[in-house]
Amino acid sequence: QVQFVESGGGLVQPGGSLRLSCAASGFTLDRYAIVWFRQAPGKEREGVSCISSSAAYTVYADSVKGRFTISRDNAKNTVALQMNSLKPEDTAVYYCATKAGLSLASCTNNWYRAYNNWGQGTQVTVSS
């Protein structure tokens, strides 16, 4: 069984920080690029960040660049998303997923819309 478990979400004030974690079960992450994406009510899914299988390459959506940092620990089979300077616009359910397509290990140009195997997600609410 391939499964992700996202955790670390919660209610935070604008300007605050959260660290999301993504734990994999049923498979090992080290062969895959991993994508974080989010979805807010009434909005399309938005790719947030991608990290290559070796962590040699990372990419971010313009909306979070400079505020979010993606990382991975292949030995622990986990991926993290450090979120700083949070804004109300960041409110969404956050998911992690494996990269899909011809190249599973690389954050190719379509990383933000080519992924699968996501979990239940974790709710992030940024509000005063």
Q: Which residues of the chain have pLDDT under 70?
A: 1
pLDDT in tens, 16-32: 999 999 999 888 999 99
Per-residue pLDDT at 15: 98
The per-residue pLDDT for 25 is 87
Secondary structure (3-state) at 104 = coil
What are φ and ψ of residue 113, in 5° steps? -140, 15
Contact 72, 55 (CB under 8 A): yes
